[in-house]
Structure 1
Amino acid sequence: MQTPLNPQAFFDTVTGTVTYVVADRGTGQAAIIDPVLGYDFKSGRTSTELADHVLAYVEQQGLHVGWILETHAHADHLSAAHYLKARTGGKIAIGEHIRAVQSTFKKIFNLEPLFVPDGSQFDHLFKDGETFALGDLEMSALHVPGHTPADMAYLAGDAVFVGDTLFMPDVGTARADFPGGDARQLYRSIHKLLQLPAQTRIFVCHDYPPGERVPQWESTVGEQRKANIHVRDGISEDAFAAMRAARDATLGMPTLILPSIQVNIRAGGLPPPEGNGVSYLKIPVNALEVA
């Protein structure tokens, strides 16, 4: 099995998000997965601080970024994909079911007529099981819906980047009550991933460490099957769906869901500037509800 360089992780303490750089050993070809654009909700100002750390690492290692991969349209942080594409030339890619997410949120935000929910804002839309090259390393895109309809995981050698399907074993799994989410789909998607070999390394997109534990983002299929508090071996689909419904009913909306979604369905681009040259994000009133 081809093995990528050990992924370099960049942890955003504000949103609990992990951005990864994964590269082919021989060619220096690299992909950036789930990049974060800083955003201050109070002032409406963006920051490229974390993305610039990623760029500095890429330059230091002599890597060439061919892909900027999104696991889904995140609800808890803005994507820096657009910013990184401008500086690296990498292609922004996401799963083909992003079209369904775009259609849903175009209606919620009443977006401009020129915004077409066809996925064209991204450079490439992956189909389930599609393979693509990272230098001499073959990667696979896996459709893992449930958290949203469009979630993807990316398999590279013995490593799989799972987005929000799974968290660390002591945290469990992502919520499934966003528009288009489905707990039973999420359970099946997780078990699709857990059929990979037990030693496969799992890299999660977020960590919300309980107690005094420091942030972590790497586990294995075997560890998840043994210890994940929500989907370890022996937990049925019915039990998981009931747990998720009860748990999700207690969760508040992510702080950045309104600004982040309308940026992330544009591949990290801001809405078109208005007549004064300023881009505006919308805050719909009484329009967004969990399932």
Structure 2
Amino acid sequence: MTAVLPDTFTVRPPTKDDAQAVFDLVAAYNHTVVGFADYTLDDAFDELTEPGFEPETDGWLVFDGDQLVGYGSVFGKGEFHVLDMDAVTSDPVVEAYLLGEITRRGRELAAAHGHTSVQLDTGVYRLDTGRRARLEAAGYARGTTFHRMRIDHHGPVPAPAVPAGVVVRRGTPDEESQRAAHHVVIAAFTGQYGFEVRSFEEWQASHEAQSTFDWAGMALLEIDGKAVAMRECTDAFIEDENCNYVGRLAVLDEARGKGLAKFLLRDQFALDAAAGRTGTLLHVDTNNPTPALGLYLSVGMTESLVIDSLRCTVAV
């Protein structure tokens, strides 16, 4: 049952014009937990305008008078087996209300896609013990843990040698190269925690809509004319930390053991240092079936933040 808000509170769906208010709310909350915003206005705008996000049914703004005190959202992609959700507020009553609305809408989305249950996923900073306890009381449990990895650049970084037999394609400006990158992502990540297979068209549209993404920031590695690895970068952390962000790093099983992932990382470090970036960031699932954490540690990256993914299974 959805929690009841005080009579003075009002609720309405968000629009893109609410991006500043959402940013202010989320940044203020994050400051209380980790000491910095860890969120940008671009992040807020991109969330509210993500292709496939229906704010009229899948988003909630809670106001106490004119003051925004809560923001909630639920978003599905691919086959909608997993829904990403967020509920940001410092008020436990508002949080309970948002969790109720998100659960209700999650059931509707699952039923609409022919599922008998659905997974609701959200990220919680390891330091946010209060929110974790409230979510666990609401039926959420830890599914995996993501470490934000970072390496700082204090001057020029030497470019690594290209592995023998490998061709580097910088940028994916056309549909053929974008489809090749999409194929590598699907082949490498299918079956991993929280990953939903998206059609090429959905994947492409999502990238096109991101204000911090450019196809020039994607790279492919080819062997014998076939794409076997990819790297995707965005400007998501440039505004607040002047760091490049590696959003995806994928290598096909058949091409593992050739040093391709290390090359892609070191190549990006060199590019970022040359561009004046103070560092490079990425997130790694520490329960990844491949030894990804060890890979990032081996190239000099260190942990800067820990985020637990909490999951609740909701029956329709």
* TM-score of the superposed pair, with normalisation by structure 2: 0.29
Higher fraction of helix? 2
Greater per-residue strand proportion: 2
Please tell me whether Structure 1 or Structure 2 has the larger radius of gyration of its CA atoms: 2
TM-score, normalising length: structure 1: 0.31
